């Protein structure tokens, strides 16, 4: 009751004479690709609502320190962006984009997202929020002090992973997965607590990993999603025209960012190379070895999935690229 009362008070304070003011918690720093997208989204909403909806973006997760799904559900914050795989405990669909090798390109990732989107929206609603838009990260790879060529290179390597899927993947390859908040990764690399990281080119660029690691092996592990949601009580406090303005901005920024992420990927790799990072493609041997793990993980993931999740994969894999079909040939049987 107390939380409900506080939320009502908060809603009353943000709506005055038809104008709405809301805060959007952005997980990463102001210069991050997704945070920039959130800022553009806020600006577009203001324009499309004729100034009646004002969203203030707060970088660096300054408004949320815990579970973003719960924070938005409770109305602790009106809006947030969130790394979807991190919230996989909130719904099985949230783990899809971080399954290894489920996509081999941005086109694959976008196709999977479009097929999965209705289930994302349905699950978000169960958490008292509206799913507004989502954009992929550049493909995850391995940062280390050597080029990863086969399973033998994983032995003894302490790798920072970002969710249960990536942890299982690294452990299955013979490495040692370590769970760490993003803010502690750089210092942990300095001290030797970890000596490898699974993440994107964009994150490696933002984290200046070339100062502590020498190699980035592009295995295209996954194209995980970042999403923006809004608390349903805040959403319902807006009139129809304001809601339409938000949806219009969400649709446009989603398309714009899905196009821009390719440029961000290329830019990030160029910056890392200029700073001494060696970037290499995964060897055929490594790709084959990791593909076996990926296939086994998908089979396990689907073993206790409901019909909606299984339907997503049946539709997706039937039309996926040859690279994806090759990895998951066992599942298709």
Query: Tell me, what CATH number does 191's domain have?
Result: 3.40.190.170
The residues with which 23 forms a beta bridge, in sequence order, are: 56
User: Biggest alpha carbon distance in the chain?
Assistant: 65
Does one domain contain both 82 and 206?
Answer: no
pLDDT, tens digit (0-9, with 9 covering 90-100), for 84-131: 988 867 889 999 999 999 999 999 999 999 999 999 999 999 999 999
Question: How many domains is the chain partitioned into structurally?
Answer: 2
Does one domain contain both 243 and 319?
Answer: no
Q: Are 177 and 170 in contact (CB under 8 A)?
A: yes
Pairing of strands 196-200, 278-281: unpaired
Alpha-helical regions (H) of the chain: 2-14, 33-48, 68-74, 106-126, 164-172, 185-191, 201-206, 232-236, 240-274, 284-303, 307-318, 322-327, 329-332
Q: What is the distance between the alpha carbons of residues 142 and 188, in angstroms, rounded to a whole number?
A: 16
Q: Are 319 and 118 in contact (CB under 8 A)?
A: no
Domain boundary among 270, 287, 303: 270
Which domain range does residue 201 map to? 140-222+277-332
Q: What pLDDT score was predicted for residue 333?
A: 46
Averaged pLDDT, 136-155? 93
pLDDT, tens digit (0-9, with 9 covering 90-100), for 230-273: 999 999 999 999 999 999 999 999 999 999 999 999 999 999 99
Q: What pLDDT score was predicted for residue 324?
A: 81
Residue 325 pLDDT greater than 90, yes or no: no
Element (H, E) at 129: strand 129-136
Does one domain contain both 53 and 122?
Answer: yes
37 to 30, 127, 156, 204: CA distances (angstroms): 10, 24, 38, 19
Does one domain contain both 248 and 328?
Answer: no
Averaged pLDDT, 159-186? 93
Neighbour tally for 238: CB within 10 Å: 21
Residue 13 pLDDT greater than 60, yes or no: no
Does one domain contain both 249 and 197?
Answer: no
């Amino acid at each position: 009751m107390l939380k409900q009362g506080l939320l009502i008070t908060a809603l009353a304070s943000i709506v005055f004479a038809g104008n709405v003011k809301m805060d959007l918690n952005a997980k990463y720093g102001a210069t991050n690709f997704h945070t920039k997208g959130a800022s553009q989204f806020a600006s577009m909403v203001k324009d499309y609502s004729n100034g009646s909806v004002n969203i203030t973006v707060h970088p660096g997760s300054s408004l949320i320190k815990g579970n973003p799904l719960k924070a938005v559900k409770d109305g602790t914050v009106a809006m947030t962006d969130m790394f979807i795989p991190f919230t996989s405990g909130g719904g099985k669909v949230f783990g899809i984009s971080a399954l290894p090798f489920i996509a081999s390109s941005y086109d694959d990732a976008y196709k999977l997202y479009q097929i999965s989107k209705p289930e994302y929206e349905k699950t978000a609603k169960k958490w008292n929020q509206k799913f507004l838009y989502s954009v992929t990260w550049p493909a995850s790879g391995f940062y280390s002090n050597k080029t990863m060529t086969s399973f033998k290179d994983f032995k003894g390597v302490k790798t920072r992973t970002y969710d249960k899927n990536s942890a299982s993947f690294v452990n299955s390859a013979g490495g040692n997965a370590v769970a760490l908040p993003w803010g502690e990764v750089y210092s942990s690399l300095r001290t030797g607590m970890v000596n490898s990281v699974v993440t994107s080119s964009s994150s490696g660029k933002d984290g200046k990993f070339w100062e502590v690691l020498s190699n980035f092996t592009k295995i295209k592990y996954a194209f995980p999603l970042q999403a923006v949601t809004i608390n349903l009580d805040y959403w319902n406090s807006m009139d129809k025209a304001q809601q339409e303005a938000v949806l219009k901005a969400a649709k446009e920024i989603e398309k714009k960012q899905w196009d821009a992420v390719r440029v961000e990927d290329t830019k990030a790799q160029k910056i890392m190379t200029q700073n001494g990072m060696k970037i290499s493609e995964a060897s055929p041997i490594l790709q084959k070895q990791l593909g076996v793990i990926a296939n086994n993980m998908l089979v396990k993931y689907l073993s206790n999935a409901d019909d909606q999740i299984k339907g997503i994969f049946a539709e997706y894999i039937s039309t996926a690229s040859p690279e994806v079909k090759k990895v998951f040939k066992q599942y298709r049987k």
